[in-house]
Amino acid sequence: MKRPLILRGMFYSLLLCVTPLQAQGGVKVFISVDMEGITDVVDWDETRSSGSDYQYYRTLMTKEANAAIEGALEAGATEIVVRDSHGSGRNLLPEELNPKAKLLRDWSGGPFSMMEGIDKTFDAVIFVGYHAKAGTKDATLDHTMSSVSIRDLKVNGVSLPESGWNGLIAGCFDVPVVFLAGDKAACEQARAIFGNVEAVAVKEGIGEACLSLHPQKARELIKAGVKKAMGRLSEFKPLKYEPPYEIEIQFRSEHEAYRASWYPGAKRVGDWGVSYTSNDFLDLMRFFMLAR
Ligand SMILES: [Zn+2]
């Protein structure tokens, strides 16, 4: 069921001894999990399978995904899809993940990327392990989709972190973003874009260093934050901008801007940038996938 019919849900929940959300006939939750915003992660080496401490941090990543799953389940979620959204798309440990969730791994090659699997049947989107956009002060491993090629991503003039771009993809299917966990800068950027989103800062960047909560404390806050967000589901609106949609990518190299400018309909914006406009957001997703 799409939007919570909260009053009807509350009535049936009293009769059936289930939560208001369950009483509405099922609540489907999509959880996209990145790694740079996981508690204590501070260096690229810790996020790459070749890194000596990667195995430890992928365990923390899996436990933070589980904290979000548990919060959603306690709030009445009946179906959960977890999308592994980092690097290879093969970081979360399947056996360790809560068995009530399904796991979507690796990259299809299509434009949905970190939101692969989202569709109109979902009721809420949750982000775990998210980070700030490229160029953010006191942010941990800040980047926007690529750590090497993109300086900035804008849609309709708004500079976006990955949470914003992914939120717009969810918005195409009328699904709201309700919760984000990551570093403090990622939380601030999410609040600026989504307004009333529940956000849990598990760490705070200090230049290239970072100060983290204890992982166990972070998980407690994530579980409680997700539960709270799911309890407020009717308050959230899907993120949607007014068409026509304009995407602008500022690259880190002039050569990449030149290459992207050959995409049909693309326009060069200064030395480093390329823009593309359409009334269909899927066209922007295609551009973003193929022009870089
Ligand atoms: Zn990542």
Given a cut of 70, whether residue 276 has pLDDT beyond it is yes
Round to the nearest angstrom and report the end-to-end CA distance of the chain. 37
Predicted confidence at residue 21, as pLDDT, reads 57
Ligand 1 centroid to 160 CA: how many Å? 16
* pLDDT tens-digit map of 217-234: 999 999 999 999 999 999
- Region class of 265: left (phi > 0), else alpha (psi between -120 and 50), else beta: left
Catalytic annotation, residues: 143
For the chain, give the secondary structure using H, E and C: CCCCCHHHHHHHHHHHCCCHHHHCCCCEEEEEECCCCCCCCCCHHHHCCCCCCHHHHHHHHHHHHHHHHHHHHHCCCCEEEEEECCCCCCCCCHHHCCCCEEEECCCCCCCCHHHCCCCCCCCEEEEEEECCCCCCCCCCCCCECECCCEEEEEECCEECCHHHHHHHHHHHCCCCEEEEEEEHHHHHHHHHHHCCCEEEEEEEEECCEEEECCHHHHHHHHHHHHHHHHHCHHHCCCCCCCCCEEEEEEECCHHHHHHHCCCCCCEEECCCEEEEEECCHHHHHHHHHHCC
What mean pLDDT do residues 111-117 have?
A: 98
Predicted confidence at residue 292, as pLDDT, reads 84
What mean pLDDT do residues 183-200 have?
A: 97
Q: How far apart are CA 266 and CA 287, in angstroms?
A: 9
Q: How far apart are CA 259 and CA 287, in angstroms?
A: 12
Predicted confidence at residue 147, as pLDDT, reads 79
What mean pLDDT do residues 41-68 have?
A: 98
Q: How far apart are CA 217 and CA 76, in angstroms?
A: 23
User: Which fold would CATH assign to domain 242-292?
Assistant: Gyrase A; domain 2 (3.30.1360)
Ligand 1 centroid to 85 CA: how many Å? 7
Domain spans of the chain, in order of start? 23-241, 242-292
* pLDDT tens-digit map of 20-35: 554 556 999 999 999 9
With beta carbons less than 8 A apart as the criterion, state whether 30 and 122 touch.
yes
Ligand 1 centroid to 4 CA: how many Å? 32
Tell me if domain 23-241 and domain 242-292 are identical in fold: no
Domain 23-241: give its CATH architecture.
3-Layer(aba) Sandwich (3.40)
Given a cut of 60, whether residue 12 has pLDDT beyond it is no
| 7 band by pLDDT with thresholds 50, 70 and 90 | very low
**Nearest one of 180, 185, 182 to 206, comparing CA atoms:** 185
Ligand 1 centroid to 9 CA: how many Å? 37
Ligand 1 centroid to 167 CA: how many Å? 16
Ligand 1 centroid to 37 CA: how many Å? 8
